[in-house]
């Protein structure tokens, strides 16, 4: 029998349960030695304070913690522990941590570290995360390392480069009459806008990126860092959010743009499995196929022939996602691709191109790699494929598109992807990444205006790593940052995250959205590389099938009283019928009253939850009760 954990998250591995730390009205969750959800009187002050050690490719170490002690008294709490990270070639970093919270509104996190052997790292030290909801565009006071104090604001639109450098402290208003100062000592800190990577935070981190990395921590040289949070002033107590058993009303607003076409990405290695399951592809019903083609990976006419057979069997508009090597004359390279397309008999509607070097990110302070002007790349693509619509942007993330802005006048559409596990891979961080999506689309629209706009493929797993030499292998199916596959993609969690994703980006008026492949590790069914599961539908299949059916419907603004826990997407069809899709973004049960939903009394309610997943079925219908219970990561279809 399949366990509930495997159904919900795709893995038997349990996440560590947080330990709640309490000092009066100040609370925090202790997870793996770091702090999450730091709140005052129920209001989030900081999203996290963590002591983070990364390897040379920006992968995050999972330190071994020892001698953990948690003590509470009337004055607050104190936590102590020691830890160690095992590096390559026998190197080792040992550290000792102390966390102290006091009822008067102070929190200290102090770490002393000593390398045993020269220890290579891309970053070692504190990361402080400020939330984005309610703080984007808000005033802050920044104190620099030279003592200069500047009154400024947190970025509203996503900032491509560091908004603040050489930081010692940052202060923001928590609510009227109450300020929160975060002071960082032991090194020079700077802030980056993590919404670029779809993280729901502003991150203040140690060691400026303009300094070389990776770098060596010298053996036996001890260093210390400290973060102090101080709450100053007083304010009227806020009503803390009620528990998950509260009823959550949902309201509809004005009409918005039409829902986008739904596409799936196909890679050469998955084309045969896709063709072999053509009936399931037809049942899924995507309006577009995105065909990945990379000459630098050895893709050639055989891959294009496989795509031609697929497009002939499922004749919807197809886009070639073409990596341009930029090693020879551009006209010669792209004309060669065009000749291979003709030889294969592949019918295309569009081509999207991006230089191979643009798959790697260029961090602040680094030298930009050699690359022909994008205008020349796009002109060569136009010359080779004069009859096709032309797209460009980045095959990676907003980070790269924000930093290297493409000339939109040369393009028919703009495209980029996102990935929620660039920096963290725990369940909470992945779901919180949905908060950043509306900022991503609004920032992209601010740059590129009404240019047709596409997002995807955006999956939980990372299909390429712009920040290191490769994605991380994940043979055991764990929650790993920058992993090439993620267990939650196979589970109800992945289906819920994808619906939440769609709900957040629909207001941007996208032309196309891709949230999966069809077959393989990024697909809605398993591929040839997973013979025991080949052809089996993942929960994501059932959600995307309904989203595909809503393409072209008119979206409706939708609001709830718990947008951090309940995702909601509403659409009205040509016949005037309103469809509402609701997703529980948490592992707790949420309760909805039919009377609180903006649908008629005769509206049909269907549920997709753990029991439906275990049975291998889609949405089960006929909910007629006055209340709708959405268990962990469950989805409701109403209409």
Domain ranges of the chain: 4-233, 260-361+369-551, 557-638
Quick one: pLDDT at residue 47? 97
4-233 has which fold?
Beta-galactosidase; Chain A, domain 5 (2.70.98)
Confidence of residue 596 (pLDDT cuts 50, 70, 90): confident
Distance CA 447, CA 408 (A): 9
Distance CA 268, CA 257 (A): 34
Helix (H, G, I), strand (E, B) or coil at 142: strand
Reply yes or no on whether the pLDDT at 241 is more than 90.
no
Q: Helix H segments across 467-507?
A: 492-505
Residues above pLDDT 70, as percent of the chain: 95
Give how far Cα 281 sits from Cα of 529, 541, 620, Å: 18, 10, 21
Q: What angle do CA 583, 463, 543 make, to 5 degrees?
A: 25
Reply yes or no on whether the pLDDT at 9 is more than 90.
yes
Report the range of poorest mean pLDDT among 40-54, 367-381, 501-515, 602-616. Answer: 602-616
- The overall average pLDDT reported for the chain is 93
Q: Helix H segments across 263-324?
A: 271-276, 278-284, 301-313
Provide the strand spans (E) within 162-200.
Answer: 164-175, 178-185, 189-193
**More confident: 235 or 219:** 219
Reply yes or no on whether the pLDDT at 246 is more than 90.
no
Provide the strand spans (E) within 118-163.
Answer: 119-121, 123-131, 139-144, 149-153
**More confident: 594 or 521:** 521
Q: Which two tokens stand for residue 188?
A: 């020079």
Say whether 260-361+369-551 and 4-233 share the same fold: no
Reply yes or no on whether the pLDDT at 622 is more than 60.
no
Taking a C-beta distance cutoff of 8 angstroms, is the pair 128, 49 a contact? Answer: yes
Q: What angle do CA 356, 362, 363 make, to 5 degrees?
A: 160
Quick one: pLDDT at residue 242? 43
Taking a C-beta distance cutoff of 8 angstroms, is the pair 353, 324 a contact? Answer: yes
Quick one: pLDDT at residue 597? 83
Sign for the CA dihedral angle at 450, 574, 506, 9 comes to negative
557-638 has which fold?
Immunoglobulin-like (2.60.40)
The per-residue pLDDT for range 460-481, each reduced to its tens digit, is 999 999 987 889 999 999 999 9
Helices 301-313 and 330-344 cross at an angle (nearest 10°) of: 50
Reply yes or no on whether the pLDDT at 531 is more than 80.
no
Cis-peptide, bond into residue 214, ω within 30° of zero = yes
Question: If DSSP states are collapsed to H, E and C, what string results for 555-603?
Answer: EEEEEECCCCCEEEEEEECCCCCEEEEEEECCCCCEEEEHHHCCCCCCC
Yes or no: domain 260-361+369-551 corresponds to CATH 3.20.20.80: yes
The per-residue pLDDT for range 204-225, each reduced to its tens digit, is 999 998 898 899 999 999 999 9
The per-residue pLDDT for range 91-123, each reduced to its tens digit, is 999 999 999 999 999 999 999 999 999 999 999
Helices 374-384 and 330-344 cross at an angle (nearest 10°) of: 30
Reply yes or no on whether the pLDDT at 429 is more than 70.
yes
Nearest to 416 by CA among 469, 374, 359, 367: 359
Distance CA 172, CA 491 (A): 39
Q: What is the mean pLDDT of residues 566-581?
A: 93
User: For 397-428, b where at least 16 C-beta lie within 10 A, e where not — what string?
Assistant: bbbbbbbbebeeebbbbbbbbbbbbbbbbbbb
Cα end-to-end span (Å), the chain: 33
Quick one: pLDDT at residue 335? 98
Taking a C-beta distance cutoff of 8 angstroms, is the pair 504, 549 a contact? Answer: no
Confidence of residue 243 (pLDDT cuts 50, 70, 90): very low
Distance CA 293, CA 299 (A): 6
Quick one: pLDDT at residue 624? 60
Reply yes or no on whether the pLDDT at 529 is more than 80.
no
Strand partners, 628: 592
Confidence of residue 244 (pLDDT cuts 50, 70, 90): very low
Nearest to 276 by CA among 250, 245, 244, 309: 309
Confidence of residue 536 (pLDDT cuts 50, 70, 90): confident
Reply yes or no on whether the pLDDT at 604 is more than 90.
no
């Amino acid at each position: 029998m399949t366990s509930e954990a495997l159904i919900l998250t795709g893995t038997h591995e349990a996440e560590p349960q947080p330990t709640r730390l309490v000092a009066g009205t100040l609370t925090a969750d202790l997870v793996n030695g770091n702090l999450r959800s730091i709140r005052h009187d129920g209001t989030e002050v900081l999203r996290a304070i963590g002591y983070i050690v990364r390897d040379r490719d920006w992968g995050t170490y999972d330190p071994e913690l020892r001698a953990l002690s948690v003590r509470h008294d009337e004055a607050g709490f104190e936590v102590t522990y020691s830890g160690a990270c095992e590096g390559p070639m026998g190197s080792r970093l040992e550290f000792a941590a102390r966390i102290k919270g006091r009822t008067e509104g102070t929190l200290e996190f102090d770490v002393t570290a000593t390398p045993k052997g020269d220890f290579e790292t891309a970053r070692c030290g504190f990361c402080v995360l400020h939330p984005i909801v309610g703080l984007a565009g808000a005033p802050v006071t920044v104190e620099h390392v030279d003592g200069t104090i500047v009154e400024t604001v947190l970025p509203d639109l996503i900032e491509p480069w560091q908004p603040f450098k050489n930081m010692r402290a940052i202060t923001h208003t928590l609510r009227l009459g109450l300020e929160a100062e975060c002071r960082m000592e032991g090194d020079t800190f700077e802030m980056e806008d993590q919404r670029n990577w779809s993280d729901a935070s502003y991150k203040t981190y140690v060691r400026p990126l303009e300094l070389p990395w990776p770098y060596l921590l010298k053996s036996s040289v001890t260093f210390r860092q400290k973060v102090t949070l101080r709450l100053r002033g007083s304010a009227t107590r806020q009503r803390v959010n009620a528990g998950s058993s509260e009823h959550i009303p949902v309201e509809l607003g004005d009409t918005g743009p039409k829902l986008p076409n739904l596409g799936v990405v196909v890679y050469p290695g998955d084309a045969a499995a896709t063709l072999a399951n053509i009936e399931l592809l037809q049942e899924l019903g995507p309006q577009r196929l995105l065909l990945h083609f990379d000459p630098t990976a050895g893709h050639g006419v055989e891959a294009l022939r496989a795509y031609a057979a697929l497009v002939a069997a499922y004749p919807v508009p197809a886009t070639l996602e073409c990596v341009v090597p930029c090693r020879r004359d551009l006209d010669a390279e792209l004309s060669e691709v065009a000749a291979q397309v003709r030889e294969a008999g592949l019918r295309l509607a569009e081509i999207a191109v991006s230089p191979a070097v643009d798959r790697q990110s260029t961090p602040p302070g680094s030298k930009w790699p050699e690359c022909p002007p994008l205008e020349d790349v796009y002109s060569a693509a136009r010359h080779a494929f004069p009859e096709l619509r032309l797209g460009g942007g980045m095959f990676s993330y907003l980070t790269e598109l924000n930093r290297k802005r493409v000339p939109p006048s040369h393009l028919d559409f703009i495209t980029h992807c996102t990935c929620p596990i660039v920096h963290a891979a725990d369940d909470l961080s992945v779901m919180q990444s949905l908060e950043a999506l509306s900022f991503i689309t609004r920032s992209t629209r601010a740059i590129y205006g009404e240019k047709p706009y596409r997002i995807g493929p955006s999956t939980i797993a990372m299909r390429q790593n712009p920040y290191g030499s490769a994605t991380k292998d994940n043979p055991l199916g764990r929650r790993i940052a920058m992993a090439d596959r993620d267990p939650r993609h196979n589970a109800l969690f992945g289906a819920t995250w994808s619906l939440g994703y769609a709900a957040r980006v629909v207001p941007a008026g996208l032309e196309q959205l891709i949230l999966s492949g069809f077959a393989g590790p990024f697909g809605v069914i398993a591929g040839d590389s997973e013979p025991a599961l080949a052809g089996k539908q993942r929960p994501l299949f059932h959600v995307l099938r309904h989203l595909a059916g809503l393409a072209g419907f008119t979206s409706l603004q939708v609001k709830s009283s718990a947008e951090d826990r309940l995702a909601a997407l509403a659409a009205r069809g040509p016949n005037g019928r309103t469809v509402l899709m609701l997703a529980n973004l948490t592992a707790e049960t949420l309760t909805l009253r039919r009377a609180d939903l903006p649908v008629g009394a005769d509206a049909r309610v269907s549920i997709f939850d753990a029991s439906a997943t275990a049975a291998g079925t889609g949405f089960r219908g006929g909910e007629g009760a006055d209340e709708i219970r959405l268990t962990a990561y469950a989805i409701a279809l109403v209409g």
